[in-house]
A and B are shown apart, each in its own frame.
Chain A
Amino acid sequence: MAAGVRPAPGDTPRSEAGDRWQRALDAPRDVWAVFLQARRRDPHIYVGDVHAPDAEMALVLAKEGYTRRDPCVNLWVVRADQIHATTAGAEEMFEPATDKSYRFGGSYRQQQKVYRSAWRLSHREEDQ
């Protein structure tokens, strides 16, 4: 690395091939990640960050920071530097290399049969 140039956040001295696959997110201590739950049936979704001195203040500030226009029933906050993440270098391991249709319940024809079957129709209520 050239003199006078400091490493980028998350960067390591290793070559690209040997890069770390996971790290703690690099964020200032007072940054909190905010997760918003739109309705009770929904999972919490990451919507952005707030700066705050502590968790209680982070929740108070996140309410108006992130729910002014979006429906919300619940908020989570966590210090952003407590989030562990896979690195960009590890992205390719998520991409399937082989056919994974065995996870999807068989052939298209079989799927359609199950879908239209009486069992499926009677269980549609559970989707609501």
Chain B
Amino acid sequence: MAGALAAIADPAVRGAFREWLLRTADDELVIGHRHSEWTGFGPDIESDVAMSSIAQEEIGHARVFYEQIGPDDGSTPDQLAFGRSPREYRHAALLEHENGGWEFSIVRLALYEPFEAGRLRLLGASGHEPVAGLARTLAREERYHGLFAETWLARLTKAAVEDRGRVQRALDEAWPDALGLLETTPADDLLRAAGVLGETPAAARAAWEDAVRPILTGCGLAIPRAAAREGGRRGAHGPEFEQMLMQMTEVRRSDPEAQW
């Protein structure tokens, strides 16, 4: 498979598109990994099962994008997923945090899904096949992820004042990193100039806030005012991600020549 990048002649644009796809793949891999850690430990059996499906789909989405990036330098999806140093990953820091309480995971998913839906729309409009087509297909599964988060968020916040307080604290904690989802690099400027990315950073932020605001206020939550905490898109990740990567690669590193 040639992958999406082969068709882009301009090396600068190709590099920028690669970075965009890598962000997407890494976001999905990291959040998928975190969600998979809930398997067996959910608040009820049914939600355990549902969250586990979401995790599997996210990892599946990561693989789809790694498959598009890989051919550019001959990497397999597994090599991309497991084989880079922490600084080479382009996911947002929000997604690498440990799961914490259920409310944090639900808040995180509720903040991430509108961003991911927006990104898939933009990829779908990029004009670059097969990525554009794949993005439109994946959006079908994302819808359920958002539904799951919103349905849970509503129920966590409506029962008691203390409950809403807990969720508000989780939201306050997540907000700066959530804004980090929108962090841009020179790659974004290049892609916009090349007509591949059809939205300015300001428009992207507005679109995400417009999507997220009614979900949060509808649950009686206050929108935090904190500033963005950025760095993930440039490869700045914390100890939680380093530990996660060590764990993810533990078996592979035990026998580097082996097939699994």
Contact with B along A64-107 (1 / 0, CB 8 A): 11001000000000000000000000000000000000000000
- Residue B202 lies at the interface, judged by CB distance under 8 Å to chain A: no
Closest CB of chain A to B218's CB: distance in Å? 14
B151 A60 Cβ-Cβ under 8 A: yes
Closest CB of chain B to A123's CB: distance in Å? 37
Q: Show 27 residue pairs from A and B whose CB-CB distance is below 8 angstroms, ordered by the A residue.
A: A50-B46, A51-B44, A51-B45, A51-B46, A52-B46, A53-B155, A56-B151, A57-B151, A57-B155, A60-B50, A60-B147, A60-B148, A60-B151, A61-B46, A61-B47, A61-B49, A63-B50, A63-B144, A64-B46, A64-B49, A64-B50, A64-B52, A64-B53, A65-B46, A65-B49, A65-B50, A68-B53
In the bound complex, residues from chain B placing their C-beta under 8 Å from that of A53 are 155
Interface of B is mostly: helix
Compute how far the CA of A9 lies from the CA of B207 in the bound complex, rounded to whole angstroms: 54
Compute how far the CA of A28 lies from the CA of B147 in the bound complex, rounded to whole angstroms: 26
Compute how far the CA of A53 lies from the CA of B52 in the bound complex, rounded to whole angstroms: 20
In the bound complex, residues from chain B placing their C-beta under 8 Å from that of A65 are 46, 49-50
Contact with A along B31-71 (1 / 0, CB 8 A): 00000000000001111011011000000000000000000
Given A57-B151, A68-B53, 5 other A-B contacts at CB below 8 A? A56-B151, A57-B155, A61-B47, A61-B50, A64-B50
Compute how far the CA of A60 lies from the CA of B45 in the bound complex, rounded to whole angstroms: 13
Compute how far the CA of A50 lies from the CA of B49 in the bound complex, rounded to whole angstroms: 11
Compute how far the CA of A53 lies from the CA of B147 in the bound complex, rounded to whole angstroms: 16
In the bound complex, residues from chain B placing their C-beta under 8 Å from that of A57 are 151, 155
Compute how far the CA of A68 lies from the CA of B49 in the bound complex, rounded to whole angstroms: 10
Nearest B residue to A53, CB-CB: B155
Contact with A along B152-172 (1 / 0, CB 8 A): 000100000000000000000
Closest CB of chain A to B128's CB: distance in Å? 31
In the bound complex, residues from chain B placing their C-beta under 8 Å from that of A56 are 151
Contact with A along B192-217 (1 / 0, CB 8 A): 00000000000000000000000000
In the bound complex, residues from chain A placing their C-beta under 8 Å from that of B47 are 61
Compute how far the CA of A51 lies from the CA of B47 in the bound complex, rounded to whole angstroms: 10
In the bound complex, residues from chain B placing their C-beta under 8 Å from that of A68 are 53
Compute how far the CA of A109 lies from the CA of B45 in the bound complex, rounded to whole angstroms: 56
Contact with A along B107-149 (1 / 0, CB 8 A): 0000000000000000000000000000000000000100110
Which residues of A30-66 are within 8 A (CB) of B? 50-53, 56-57, 60-61, 63-65
Closest CB of chain B to A39's CB: distance in Å? 17
Nearest A residue to B53, CB-CB: A64
Across the A-B interface, give the 4 residue pairs with the lowest CB-CB distance, nearest first: A61-B46, A64-B50, A64-B53, A60-B151
In the bound complex, residues from chain A placing their C-beta under 8 Å from that of B44 are 51
Nearest B residue to A61, CB-CB: B46
Compute how far the CA of A65 lies from the CA of B46 in the bound complex, rounded to whole angstroms: 7
Of A53, A61, A63, A65, most B-chain CB atoms within 10 Å: A61
In the bound complex, residues from chain A placing their C-beta under 8 Å from that of B53 are 64, 68
In the bound complex, residues from chain A placing their C-beta under 8 Å from that of B49 are 61, 64-65
Compute how far the CA of A60 lies from the CA of B154 in the bound complex, rounded to whole angstroms: 13
In the bound complex, residues from chain B placing their C-beta under 8 Å from that of A63 are 50, 144
